[in-house]
């Protein structure tokens, strides 16, 4: 499969499914990611904004005289950017590969009265436009796994993030590279990758290598898997549906997403995949 085809597939996947995600999915607030029921989280709103709140905490630690500039790599409809802006004064840029999401993001930004502070661009985070304003903090929530080249992603962030600035990735990671030799695990991992158009399912060690080559040192990582709600009643229903449809699910974009999501649930519950939040700081040049 050529890279060009894959990026078009991801684009059309989000162009066609975003409205549906927002209507039927987890969130009325525009988040297209899973809720995190960590200790102290008392309701769905907090669970959906758990990662956004971790970003806010880090921003409060930045000792900058000016308003911090943040970049969301794979921003969906700018839900995280708008939430962060409502908590802390920042300037921000969101990048999404989907033009439909970009329209919805701009609408959300305007509706919230943040058009002077936030912007959204349609583009590829592996090939960012030149001359973007340098970021104090860049983050990517459930988007990095789509990167067609993890090396290209880190090459971009190393020139985007200021020395001393932060990079945060919240995503799914392979628990152990030896699982690629395990036939049963491999079958489910491949289902997840096919269904969710995943190109960069990396192990912790692999991503650490990319990050350190790009000049980032790890500050913190949190395994969020125990805080996901797995095996809800709707997941049993989806599991039944996918058993009936099998690979035919891949013919419809919506069922393709359910097919990948079902496989991901299996991989998470078997601990073949971990859902993690990793924070790095860019070392000074």
Ligand X SMILES: C[S@@+](CC[C@H](N)C(=O)[O-])C[C@H]1O[C@@H](n2cnc3c(N)ncnc32)[C@H](O)[C@@H]1O
On whether the CB atoms of residues 278 and 37 are closer than 8 A, the answer is: no
Any idea which residue has 């692999």 for tokens? 206
Options 25-33, 252-260, 265-273, 276-284: segment touching ligand X (CB under 6 A): 25-33
- Rounded to a whole number of angstroms, the minimum distance from the CB of residue 97 to ligand X is 4
On whether the CB atoms of residues 142 and 169 are closer than 8 A, the answer is: no
Q: Which is nearer to ligand X, 132 or 164 (CB)?
A: 132
- Residue 11's CB is within 10 A of a number of other CB atoms, namely 18
Which of 101, 156, 225, 274 is close enough to bind ligand X by CB under 6 A?
A: 101
Q: Which is nearer to ligand X, 64 or 159 (CB)?
A: 159
Which of 35, 54, 79, 91 is close enough to bind ligand X by CB under 6 A?
A: 79
Which of 17, 35, 54, 98 is close enough to bind ligand X by CB under 6 A?
A: 98
Options 106-114, 141-149, 183-191, 271-279: segment touching ligand X (CB under 6 A): 141-149
Which of 143, 179, 198, 242 is close enough to bind ligand X by CB under 6 A?
A: 143
Helices and strands, number each (H, E), in the chain: 10, 7
When asked if residue 92 is in the footprint of ligand X (CB under 6 A), the reply is no
Nearest 5°: the CA angle 107, 111, 114 is: 95
Sign for the pseudo-dihedral over CA of 64, 66, 72, 76: positive
Maximum pairwise Cα distance, the chain: 58
- Rounded to a whole number of angstroms, the minimum distance from the CB of residue 32 to ligand X is 4
């Amino acid at each position: 499969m050529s890279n060009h085809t894959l990026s078009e597939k991801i684009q059309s996947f989000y162009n066609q499914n975003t409205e549906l995600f927002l209507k039927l999915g987890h969130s009325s607030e525009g988040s297209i990611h899973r809720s995190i029921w960590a200790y102290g989280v008392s309701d769905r709103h907090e669970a959906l904004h758990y990662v956004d709140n971790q970003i806010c905490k880090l921003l409060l630690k930045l000792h900058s005289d000016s308003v911090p500039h943040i970049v969301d790599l794979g921003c969906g409809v700018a839900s995280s950017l708008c939430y962060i802006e409502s908590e802390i004064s920042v300037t921000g840029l969101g990048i999404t590969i989907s033009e439909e999401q970009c329209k919805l993001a701009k609408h959300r930004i305007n509706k919230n009265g943040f058009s002077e502070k936030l912007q959204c661009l349609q583009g590829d985070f592996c090939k960012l436009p030149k001359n973007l304003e340098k970021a104090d903090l860049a983050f990517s929530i459930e988007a990095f796994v789509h990167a067609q080249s993890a090396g290209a992603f880190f090459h971009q962030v190393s020139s985007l993030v200021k020395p001393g600035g932060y990079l945060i990735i919240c995503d799914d990671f392979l628990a152990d590279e030896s699982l690629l030799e395990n036939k049963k695990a491999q079958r489910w991992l491949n289902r997840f990758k096919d269904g969710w158009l995943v190109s960069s399912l990396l192990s912790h060690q692999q991503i650490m290598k990319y990050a350190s080559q790009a000049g980032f040192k790890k500050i913190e990582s949190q395994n969020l898997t125990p805080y996901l709600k797995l095996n809800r009643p709707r997941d049993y229903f989806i599991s039944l549906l996918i058993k009936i449809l099998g690979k035919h699910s891949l013919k419809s974009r919506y069922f393709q997403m359910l097919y990948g999501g079902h496989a991901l649930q299996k991989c998470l519950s078997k601990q073949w995949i971990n859902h993690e939040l990793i924070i790095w700081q860019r070392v000074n040049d």
